[in-house]
Amino acid sequence: MFKKALFAAIAASAIMVVAYPAAADTFTSPDGVLSIELPNESWKEIADPEKWLAFSDGANVLTIDHLSNGEKMPSLSVADDHYVNVYEAAFSTQNEVFIITGSVVDAAKIPEVANMIASAQVLQYDTKLAIKSQDANAGEFTIAPLSKTMYVTGDGVNVRSSYSTTSNILGGVGKDDAVVVTGSVQQGGKDYGWYQIAFNGGNGFVSAQFLTDTVPAGKTAVTASPTPTPAAGNSTRQYTGSAKTIYDENGNGFTVYQATDGLWYDTNGNAYDQASTYAFTAVGGTANYTVTKPAESQGITSTGYSVEVYWLNGNSETLTQYSDGYFYSGSGVRYSASNGVYNGADGTTLYTYVQNLGGDDADVPAEEQADAYLTSRGSGRPVDIYESDGEYYDSEGNEYYNNGDGTYSDDYGAIYDGVEN
């Protein structure tokens, strides 16, 4: 009988499965034992000598182990400095287990990765067809020397210390970047699916799925330097290895590289300051840039509807709705709306119902500005609520009702004891 066990995915929170657009492709393992939904074309199968299957969109990674009876279980994966979350699930049958691990770099991709894990289906039970680690690694790995320029096809593609998704991340390269390929990883004399590239004065490895010989549209073929120095004319500046593609107001993108002084530099040596997760400002200038393309350059148009929303400190922000149904801030961050709460793709949350936090009290912590403090009679959970035009809301936009006897209730009928501020 098939048994399905889910054990913890465990970096910051439990797995949350949410509605997501239909998958671009259903991947079935070569032996026909398991299938998984790939959410869009950016996710590709890549080679990994330590895993049964591996997938990546360039930065985020999902791997699958297929172990049969008697094989040792691998250690639990956790987030490190390069990942904001790691999710892990195990599906067990009588004589085998599938361990699926999703490592997330971009918090906005958490629903995507969680849904991939949730979509996994065992198609054949107790086949005992698992490929053991020593079998998967059969054949000597070598690096065949190369010297050619190739171009990056994904945003923020990881550069690793070796040809495995479990290897340390040295940094990243941006979409359309030219890189010097110094070798091709081979197994038993055949290309394995990873390239060695020149990176930060040394070597790193990139999955072959994210490199191409084709010159990107609008670019001139170049011969990349084997020892790249992003800030031209400054050979003493040190770089962390991190790179991002940023966009101007017209949607034109270019790559900036992070230096140890905390600033980012383009290939001409111009400096940029990262003002927030999704926004950059030119140092010494007034131009602003975003990590996501401005809404106008994505083929969508404004509906003309805007809404003023608020941070918990009372500062306001104007969001504009576009034809794709989402709201966008001036810095290009995309927000989805739900019951007065606006959740940003960068992890920020803005609210409709905290207008009273503004003005002279904008610098006072939000928890000190609450109009009433509530305590749930059922769970003892504390809640701060704020008045707006005679109605009360918490910081997540949930509404509460004053019962007139010192108690409050919410939309679900729960009762709270209240103390007015």
Helix (H, G, I), strand (E, B) or coil at 74: coil
Superfamily of domain 25-135: Mog1/PsbP, alpha/beta/alpha sandwich (3.40.1000.10)
* Torsional class of 214: left (φ above 0), alpha (ψ -120 to 50), beta (otherwise): beta
Q: Where are the domains of the chain?
A: 25-135, 139-212, 239-290, 295-357, 370-420
Q: Which sign does the torsion angle of CA 411, 415, 420, 421 carry?
A: negative
Q: Let me know if the fold of 25-135 is the same as that of 139-212.
A: no
CB contact at 8 A, 24 and 40: yes
The residues with which 62 forms a beta bridge, in sequence order, are: 55, 102
The pLDDT value given to residue 37: 92
The pLDDT value given to residue 324: 75
pLDDT, one tens digit per residue, over 80-104 is 666 778 888 888 777 788 899 998 8
Separation CA 374–CA 258 (nearest Å): 46
CB contact at 8 A, 409 and 416: yes
Question: Which tokens in the block code for residue 256?
Answer: 């900036």
CB contact at 8 A, 118 and 35: no
Question: Which tokens in the block code for residue 106?
Answer: 């971009």
Question: Which tokens in the block code for residue 399?
Answer: 């509404």
Separation CA 107–CA 384 (nearest Å): 27
The pLDDT value given to residue 364: 38
Complete DSSP assignment for 99-132: EEEEEESSGGGHHHHHHHHHH-EESSSS---PPP
CB contact at 8 A, 354 and 393: yes
Strands 121-122 and 96-104: unpaired
Q: Reduced to 3 DSSP states, what percent helix, strand and coil does the chain have, rounded to the nearest 5?
A: 10, 45, 50
Helix (H, G, I), strand (E, B) or coil at 32: coil
Q: How many Cβ atoms sit within 10 Å of the Cβ of residue 343?
A: 14
Backbone torsions φ then ψ of 223, nearest 5 degrees? -105, 105
CB-based contacts of 62, cutoff 8 Å, min separation 6 = 43, 54, 55, 56, 100, 101, 102, 103, 113, 116, 117
Question: Which tokens in the block code for residue 130?
Answer: 């698992």
pLDDT by position in tens, the chain (length 421): 233 333 333 333 333 344 444 446 899 988 888 899 998 888 999 999 888 899 999 989 999 988 876 777 777 777 666 677 888 888 877 778 889 999 888 778 888 898 899 899 888 877 766 554 444 444 578 888 888 889 999 888 888 888 999 888 888 888 888 888 988 998 878 899 999 998 876 788 999 999 999 988 877 777 665 544 454 445 456 766 666 777 777 777 777 777 777 788 876 778 888 876 667 888 887 777 877 666 655 667 788 888 888 776 667 788 888 887 788 887 677 788 877 788 776 667 787 755 444 344 433 344 446 677 777 776 566 777 877 767 787 766 778 888 888 888 877 677 888 776 5
The CATH number of the structural domain formed by 139-212 is 2.30.30.40
Question: Which tokens in the block code for residue 236?
Answer: 């003493």
Question: Which tokens in the block code for residue 188?
Answer: 């038993």
Complete DSSP assignment for 165-216: TTSPEEEEE-TT-EEEEEEEEEETTEEEEEEEEEETTEEEEEEGGGEESSPP
Question: Which tokens in the block code for residue 300?
Answer: 């969508």
Separation CA 206–CA 202 (nearest Å): 14
Alpha helix positions (H), 315-414: none
CB contact at 8 A, 58 and 155: yes
Helix (H, G, I), strand (E, B) or coil at 69: coil
Report field, pTM of the whole predicted structure over 0.75: no
Q: Edge-to-edge strands of the sheet including 44-45?
A: 44-45, 53-56, 61-68, 96-104, 85-92
Q: Which of 278, 342, 334, 331 is nearest to 307 (CA)?
A: 342
The angle at the Cα of 55, spanning 326 to 87, to the nearest 5 degrees, equals 70
DSSP letter assigned to residue 320? E
The angle at the Cα of 215, spanning 212 to 221, to the nearest 5 degrees, equals 125
Question: Which tokens in the block code for residue 291?
Answer: 């990590």
Helix (H, G, I), strand (E, B) or coil at 390: coil
HSE at residue 301, side-chain half, CA atoms within 13 A, is: 2
